[in-house]
Amino acid sequence: MSNTSNNSSNNLYNKNYKIVIHGIDPEYTSDYIIEILYIQHIAMVKRIILVPYVSNEDGCVYMSAYIDVHKWYECQHSRKFIKMIKYCPVGYSLLLYHYINLGWPVQLIQNTDSVFELGYAKIESIYYGLEYYENIDWTAESETMELVKAEFIAKQCAENVLNN
């Protein structure tokens, strides 16, 4: 790999990208969301701000998750994820798949703190230290997380077969 492409690859990780995920059913916890990002080797979350809203389409309550990142994984999957959301055309969203065929729209944002200026009454902001990731007992995962991990591994295997 040339130095130019290696430097541009490293620049992806040097930026302090923040993301927002929309359309999250209230049954999903902040721990579930950060574990999805962790298990899929995308990022380690520093702070997640959950904001409930009522959908104009179906009248149901959903949440948006505004996310600050400790660090992005330096792997091909994470690199593709960052590039895809960074260069996503206006009016489109990248989907973060979390369970079978369920996906949440993800977008890059400039500042997660701006959510506090929107006047929402029920904002839940949770901070995660890096020690959180050291203390997770990955052998005691829920059945849902086992399925998520199995599906992610299957997708990785399929990608490897298709790429070779």
pLDDT > 90 in the chain, percent: 16
Q: Find, among 12, 5, 155, 18, the residue nearest to 82 by Cα.
A: 12
Q: Is the pTM of this model over 0.75?
A: no
Question: Rounded mean pLDDT of the chain?
Answer: 77
pLDDT tens digits, residue range 91-146?
888 888 887 778 899 988 888 887 777 666 667 788 877 777 777 665 555 555 66
Span 3-163: which CATH code?
3.40.1310
SS3 category, 41: coil
Query: Which strand ranges, in their side-by-side order, compose the sheet holding 102-109?
Result: 94-99, 102-109, 18-24, 61-72, 43-54, 124-127
**Cβ proximity of 44 and 75 under 8 Å:** no
Q: How far is residue 23's CA from residue 15's CA, in Å, rounded to a whole number?
A: 26
- Higher-pLDDT residue of 120 and 30 is 30
Query: Where do the domains of the chain lie?
Result: 3-163
Q: Check whether 52 has a pLDDT greater than 50.
A: yes
When pLDDT is cut at 50, 70 and 90, the band that residue 5 belongs to is very low
